[in-house]
């Protein structure tokens, strides 16, 4: 195929794929509570001081929250635009940048690009779900492209590596890997001289690491900051090692090949993981500088998964992001026919197969079942309950997505304070009939509603009147019940 035809096909596929992603996101995806959590913290916390004060409890560095705060200012220009459209639109814009880099700047064969994009992580986990990992995806692909000629792009690399470190802790691992990669690229052309082309990107990583550590409270001495990084208890160490191995290899690169579990070791998953490791070793060893860069990343990721946070597919998938970003520079044509080349293509085909099959299943599930009932509950509140009325929310974590879709804050008891986001590990308070009665009497000039994640026993709560429930079948089995406090029963 000629270069002109290939370029036209890429342009067509870019527009088609991005259009399909937009259609699927806006038509079928219901935002999860962790998607709403970041948006509501960014836009409802008030000042930047308040925002940064919340980050230790979240365990995430500030970049995604700051970007969402900037996006939230769009409401000043377009006050009628819905919050979930803003969030998904911005996420789609970041994804479009990642897609452009992958399709037009990466060296993979056209059909490899198309099939990889049809896989679970590049389509659903980082394309449909609106989390900070799309920024990590974009920056990783950008740095991979810029690393082709680090002597010409070292200023941009410095900025990119800094931003990568304040996106997620996994971004720091990717940054370290690319720092090694950049060093070997420069050494190949500049000899043994360590120049500004390497030292500046290195300084960007150090600065990014310091911002990350301060923002998540590691140096604050607060239990909230440290709790995000202290889950290892030393018990069952062998089992935890096997869990980390199966999570990062079989459960990621061959996702869906074995029954998924982050809590129980699977012999099949371990066998598959060892097979993946062997395949990686057989072809990466032919290009040692890339092997070392990959080893730095996977070692950091493994130790973090083992010692601090087990995570789930969203976290483990950064392994695939890094692998794709590095293999963009892999010289396949330098592999002589034999075991190394066979290993490369066997791993690539297997990744494409399992990723694509799993993505197909997840997309069908997403299309046929809502994630929870929060979207319908939130839209009902927005359209049927006046903003002059008061809504008491029971269980802040469950209420967060409903608040996001209704675009209004709720009241928590017993503090009687307004809230829109939740605090991790915060205990849920179930109000008593007396609590509700006292609150309603103190606000007798307004209608008072209650939104709960569990049904109230109306025989015990005689002052409540059932309004509506949202309990249709959903993936998370998260249901909502709305009541009205009848002033005549107080």
Lookup: tokens for 251: 């459960």
Do 247 and 182 share a structural domain?
yes
In a domain, 2, yes or no: no
Domain boundary among 368, 398, 429: 368
Residue 490: per-residue pLDDT: 63
Q: Are strands 448-452 and 390-393 parallel, antiparallel or unpaired?
A: parallel
Q: Quick check: 344 and 335 in contact, CB under 8 A?
A: yes
- Global pTM reads 0.94
| Least confident window among 49-63, 129-143, 225-239, 412-426 | 225-239
In a domain, 1, yes or no: no
| Least confident window among 127-131, 216-220, 408-412 | 216-220
Query: How do residues 315-370 score in pLDDT, each as one tens digit?
Result: 999 999 999 999 999 888 777 788 888 999 999 999 999 999 999 999 999 999 99
Do 319 and 386 share a structural domain?
no
Q: Tell me the average pLDDT across 365-387.
A: 95
Q: Quick check: 376 and 37 in contact, CB under 8 A?
A: no
Sign, Cα dihedral of 197, 201, 206, 211: positive
The residue assigned the tokens 């509501």 is 40
Domain extent, residue 454, equals 374-489
Sign, Cα dihedral of 239, 241, 242, 244: positive
SS (H, E, C) 1-45: CCHHHHHHHHHHHHHHHHHHHHHHHHHHCCCCHHHHHHHHHHHHC
pLDDT at 167 over 90: yes
Lookup: tokens for 241: 């090692």
**Strand, helix or coil for residue 480:** strand
Do 316 and 439 share a structural domain?
no
Do 99 and 114 share a structural domain?
yes
In a domain, 197, yes or no: yes
In a domain, 275, yes or no: yes
Q: How far apart are CA 457 and CA 473, in angstroms?
A: 22
CA nearest neighbour of 36 among 407, 462, 469, 479: 407
Do 148 and 128 share a structural domain?
yes
Query: How do residues 66-79 score in pLDDT, each as one tens digit?
Result: 999 999 999 889 88
Do 406 and 360 share a structural domain?
no
Do 131 and 117 share a structural domain?
yes
Q: Tell me the average pLDDT across 438-446.
A: 92
List Cα–Cα distances, 57 to 37, 156, 224, 229, in angstroms. Answer: 12, 31, 5, 11
**What total number of domains does the chain contain?**
2
Which comes out higher in pLDDT, residue 7 or 169?
A: 169
Residue 228: per-residue pLDDT: 47
Do 364 and 378 share a structural domain?
no
Query: How do residues 55-69 score in pLDDT, each as one tens digit?
Result: 998 989 999 999 999
List Cα–Cα distances, 371 to 32, 83, 251, 395, 469, in angstroms. Answer: 7, 18, 22, 18, 16
Question: What share of the chain in percent tops pLDDT 70?
Answer: 94
Q: Tell me the average pLDDT across 94-108.
A: 96
Strand partners, 469: 481
């Amino acid at each position: 195929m000629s270069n002109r035809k290939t370029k036209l096909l890429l342009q067509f596929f870019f527009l088609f794929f991005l259009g399909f992603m937009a259609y699927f996101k806006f038509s079928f995806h219901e935002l999860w509570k962790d998607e709403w959590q970041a948006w509501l913290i960014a836009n409802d916390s008030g000042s930047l001081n308040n925002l940064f004060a919340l980050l230790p409890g979240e365990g995430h560095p500030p970049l995604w929250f700051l970007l969402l705060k900037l996006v939230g200012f769009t409401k000043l220009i377009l006050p009628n635009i819905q919050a979930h459209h803003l969030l998904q639109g911005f996420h789609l814009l970041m994804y479009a940048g990642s897609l452009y880099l992958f399709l037009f700047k990466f060296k993979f064969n056209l059909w490899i690009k198309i099939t990889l994009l049809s896989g679970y992580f590049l389509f659903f986990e980082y394309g449909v779900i609106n989390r900070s990992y799309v920024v990590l995806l974009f920056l990783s692909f950008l740095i991979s492209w810029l690393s082709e000629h680090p002597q010409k792009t070292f200023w941009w690399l410095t900025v990119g590596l800094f931003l990568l470190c304040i996106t997620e802790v996994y971004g720091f691992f990717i940054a370290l890997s690319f720092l090694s990669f950049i060093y070997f690229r420069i050494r190949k052309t500049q000899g043994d001289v360590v120049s500004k082309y390497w030292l500046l990107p290195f300084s960007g990583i150090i600065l990014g690491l310091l911002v990350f550590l301060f923002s998540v409270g590691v140096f604050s001495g607060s239990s909230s900051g440290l709790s995000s990084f202290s889950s290892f208890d030393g018990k069952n160490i062998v089992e935890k090692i096997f869990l980390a191995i199966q999570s990062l290899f079989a459960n990621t690169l061959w996702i869906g090949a074995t029954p998924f579990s982050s809590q129980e070791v699977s012999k099949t998953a371990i066998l598959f993981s060892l097979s993946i490791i062997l395949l990686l070793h057989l072809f990466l060893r032919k290009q040692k500088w890339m092997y070392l860069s990959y080893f730095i990343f996977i070692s950091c990721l493994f130790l973090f998964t083992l010692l601090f946070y087990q995570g789930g597919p969203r976290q483990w998938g950064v392994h695939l992001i890094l692998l794709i970003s590095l293999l963009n520079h892999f010289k396949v044509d330098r592999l002589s026919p034999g075991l190394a080349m066979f290993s490369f293509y066997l791993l690539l085909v297997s990744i494409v197969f399992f990723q694509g099959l799993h993505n197909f299943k997840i997309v069908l599930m997403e299309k046929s079942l809502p994630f929870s009932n929060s979207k319908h509950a939130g839209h009902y509140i927005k359209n049927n309950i006046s903003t002059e009325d008061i809504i008491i929310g029971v269980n802040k974590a469950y209420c967060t997505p409903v608040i996001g879709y209704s675009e209004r804050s709720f009241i928590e008891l017993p503090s009687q304070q307004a809230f829109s986001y939740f605090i991790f590990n915060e205990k849920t308070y179930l109000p008593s009939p007396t609590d509700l009665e006292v609150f309603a009497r103190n606000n007798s000039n307004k209608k008072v509603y209650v939104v709960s994640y569990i049904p109230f026993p109306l025989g015990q709560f005689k002052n409540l009147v059932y309004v509506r429930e949202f309990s249709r079948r959903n993936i998370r089995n998260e249901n909502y019940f709305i009541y009205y406090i009848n002033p005549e029963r107080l």
